[in-house]
Amino acid sequence: MKKVLMGNEAVAYSLFINGVNVATGYPGTPSTEVIETLKKFSDDDFYVEWSVNEKVALEVAAGASLSGARSVATMKQVGLNVAADPLLSLSIIGIEGGMIVFVADDPGPHSSQTEQDTRNFARFCNLPVLDPSSPKEAFSLVRAAFEISEKYKLPVIFRMTTRVCHSNETLEFEFKREKRKISSFEKRPQWVILPGLSYKKHIELEEKLTKMRSELGRLNIIEGHGQIGIVTSGISYFYVKEAIREFEDLFSILKVTVAHPIDDRTILDFAAGKRMLIFIEELDPVIEEETKLVLFENGMHILTYGKRNGYVPFAGELDVDKVKQIIYDVTKKEGLLVQKSFVNAPEIPRRQSQLCSGCPHRSSFLIVKNACKGKDVIYTGDIGCYTLGYAKPISTTDTCLCMGASITMAQGLKLADEKKKVVAFIGDSTFFHSGITGLVNAYYNRHNITVCVLDNLTTGMTGFQPHPGVGQKATGQEGQRVEIAEVVKGIGIKEVLIIDPYEDFNLCVQKVREFIEKDKLSVIVFRRKCANLKRYNGYYRINEKCINCKACLNTTGCPAISEDEEKNVFIDKTLCSGCGLCANFCPRMAIEKVGENE
C-alpha cells in the first residue's frame, strides 16, 4: 500500500498494523487525528473510544494492558497534566501488554494554553520517551515503542509536535494487522500500589532505566564528520539539515530519537574531537542539560551553545531561518566562515480568532450580558470555542485557566468578593471532562454562583467529536446519552434552566435575569446545535431603512457583518448562517430575512 499520510494518521495506521487492541483518548489539537483515524478501522480484537477526559483514557488503556492487551492513550500536552496521577503510579507498578502514551506537544503554541515540553514529563516519571522527526519515522517507531514497553514492562511516551503531527509524507507499507494472543488478567501483588511496594519498585525502575540506556541508543542517528557538532531532535532535525546544506562539510549531526533515558555512550562518541556543540531543540533544553551532565561527569570540556547561553530561544517554534540565524551567530563568534545566506521573510498577517457565523454561543453570551446589564459581574471562562467570548464586542470572559476551571475559579472569586455576581461559562464536552467535580464542590460548600453550560451537542473546537451528552460513540455507534440537566439535578441543585439561545431573544434575557437575581447556586443550560452541524433556512440582509448606526456590527461581532469601502454596513450572504441574531439589535428593524441561502 502506498499512501500520503499525516503524521497522526501514520501513527494510527502503524498502531493498528502492530496489533493495538484498545485505543482511548480525549480530543485536543494537535493529537486528535490519531483516534479519528483509528475509529475507521475494525477488527474482532480492536476497540476504540473517546473517553470523558485524559485521566480516564489512560486508566482504561492501563487496565487493558494489565490483561496483556496492547493499548494506546492519546492526548495533547495539557491533557498529560490531567493524566499525570495514573501515569506516575504506572511507572512504579508497571504494565503487562505494550502500552503507548501518545502526547502531542504544541510549540507556538497554536491552540493551547501552554508550551510545555513532554520530554520533561518523561524525566519526571522515569519513563522512556521517543521523539520522531517525520511521519515515516513515527510509523516505524510505533513497533519499537511496543517492543520496549513489553520488554521493560513500562509505558512508553510517544512525543510528537504540531509540525510532525500535521505534516504529510508518502509511505509504502503492507496493511496487514499483526494478530496477537491476549492473556487473561493475572492477579499479582504488584498491581496494588502501596508505600512499601512503591519504594521497592522505584529501585527496580531505576535499574531498568540503566539497562535501557545503551539499548535505546541504537535509535539515535549520527550523520556527517564535521568538527562542529549539532545535537537536535524532532522536527528541528530537518530545520538543521536544510540550514547547513551549503556548509555540511563543517558539521556533523546527532539526532536524538530517545530523549530519556539518554545514552551516555552515544553522547561521548559524538562529542569526541568536536570543536563545539550546538543544541537545537524545541522547547526546553532537555537534551542540552542531559548532554552537558554526561560531558561533565566524564571530564570532557567542550564549547556548547544553546538555550542556556541565549543562542536558542526558549519559547515558540523554530524554523529554517531561525536555525540559520543561530548557526550564523555561533560560527561568527568563533571566527568561522559561514555566510548569512537568507533573508527575513515578511510576517504573515494575523487574523483575529472569532466565533463562527451563527454560533449559538454568541447569542448565549449576549443573553447573559444583557441580563446582567447594570450589575457588577465577573465572567469566568473555560477551554473551548467559547473562550473566544473574551473578544470585543462580546467581552464576557474575564478569566480562563484550564479545563473545568471556570466553575471552581468562580467559587474563589465569589469568596473573595461576595458583593459581585460571578457567572461561569463552560462547554458541554468540558463539563463532562472536568466540570462536574467543581459543580459538586459548589453545591457541597454552598457557593452562590451561576454556571452557564454552553451545550452545542459536540466537541466543536477539535473537530466535532461526540461526547456523553451526544450519546454517540467514537465509531458512530449508539451509546448511552447523559443528560446534563439531569446530572445537575442529581447533584442536588434545584435551580436549573434550559434555554434555546435562538428562541425569542428578549424573552430569554428576561428569563435569565430573573434566574440570576435569585442569588442561589444555579445552572443554565444553553442548548443549540453547533452552527457547523446545522444550517438555518435563508439568510439576512440590510434594507433601505438602515441608518448605518452599526449597532449590528458593534454588538454581535458576527463575521458575516462588515463594512464596504464607503464604511456602509452590509451582510455577506455567503457567510450568513441565517440565525437572525443581528436583527435583535437593529433599532430601525432594517435587517430582514430574504429566503433560502444560495
- The three-state secondary structure class of 136 is helix
- The three-state secondary structure class of 64 is helix
Is 552 known as a binding-site position? Answer: yes
Is 546 known as a binding-site position? Answer: yes
Strands 156-161 and 129-130: parallel
Is 372 known as a binding-site position? Answer: no
Q: What is the rounded CA–CA span in Å between residue 101 and residue 114? A: 19
C-beta atoms surrounding 440 within 10 Å: 14
SS (H, E, C) 3-61: EEEEHHHHHHHHHHHCCCCEEEECCCCCCCHHHHHHCCCCCCCCEEEECCCHHHHHHHH
- The three-state secondary structure class of 12 is helix
Please give the backbone phi and psi of residue 231, each rounded to the nearest 5 degrees, phi first: -105, 125
Q: What is the rounded CA–CA span in Å between residue 137 and residue 510? A: 58
- Picking from 182, 144, 37, 162, the residue whose alpha carbon sits closest to that of residue 104 is 162
C-beta atoms surrounding 367 within 10 Å: 27
Sign of CA dihedral 399, 403, 407, 411: negative
Q: Write the single-letter amino acid at 32.
A: T
- Answer yes or no: are the C-beta atoms of 363 and 557 closer than 8 Å: no
Q: What is the rounded CA–CA span in Å between residue 449 and residue 417? A: 12
Q: What is the rounded CA–CA span in Å between residue 318 and residue 107? A: 9
Is 508 known as a binding-site position? Answer: no
CA-derived radius of gyration, the chain:
27
Q: What is the rounded CA–CA span in Å between residue 282 and residue 211? A: 27
Q: What is the rounded CA–CA span in Å between residue 557 and residue 355? A: 8
Q: What is the rounded CA–CA span in Å between residue 157 and residue 454? A: 34
Q: What is the rounded CA–CA span in Å between residue 92 and residue 196? A: 12
C-beta atoms surrounding 478 within 10 Å: 8
Is 385 known as a binding-site position? Answer: no
Is 165 known as a binding-site position? Answer: no
User: Which segments are annotated as binding site for [4Fe-4S] cluster?
Assistant: 546, 549, 552, 558, 576, 579, 582, 586
User: Which segments are annotated as binding site?
Assistant: 546, 549, 552, 558, 576, 579, 582, 586
